[in-house]
Amino acid sequence: MHIYILHFDTKLHHAEHYIGATRYLKRRLTAHAQGHAARLTHALVKEGIEWKLASVFQCAYHGFALERKLKDQKNAHRYCSICNRIPARTPLGTRLDLSLIPFPIDSATLRKLSHATTVDMPDSAILDDADGECPKGLPLGKEEMEDNGYMGF
């Protein structure tokens, strides 16, 4: 399970960050970049505001509960590696080195790559893996994930 923080290039009203949790980080970030993953990131796309992945934590258990705890604190900037040279420590698990993530971590690049390889989804097809399920049509089994290059991201 990954808990992640997106840092917006420009504030959207009062919001400067988005906190999310997922088991499929690359798919979720691609959906955010297209504006299909959450209402806030949909609004970012409509306004033309870009974002960058600022922090990722890997935790074994209770990922969605920890995500909710962070959201309720309303202090995402404390854990953002862009806002703070040395982000606050968290009880979230292991902070991952963003340079090791094997795919782009900014909205503009993810959107360009996704347009080159996939068809846009309608607004009604918002991806939400809050139930922990993989979106339909995507690999679910361990062997299938390994065959498709899933590396824990």
What are the tens digits of pLDDT across the range 61-92? Answer: 777 888 888 889 888 888 888 888 777 676 66
What is the reported pLDDT for 151? 44
What is the reported pLDDT for 121? 39
93 vs 12: which has the higher pLDDT: 12
- Domain map (residue ranges) of the chain: 2-147
Q: Over the range 83-116, which residues count as b (16 or more CB within 10 Å of their CB) and which as e?
A: beeebeebebbeebeeeebeebbbbeebbeebee
What are the tens digits of pLDDT across the range 14-27? Answer: 899 999 999 999 99
What are the tens digits of pLDDT across the range 97-123? Answer: 888 888 888 988 888 887 655 444 333
> pTM (2 decimals)?
0.72
Asked whether the beta carbons of 45 and 10 are under 8 A apart, the reply is no
pLDDT at 8 over 80: yes
CA distances from 26 to 72, 93, 110 (A): 25, 19, 9
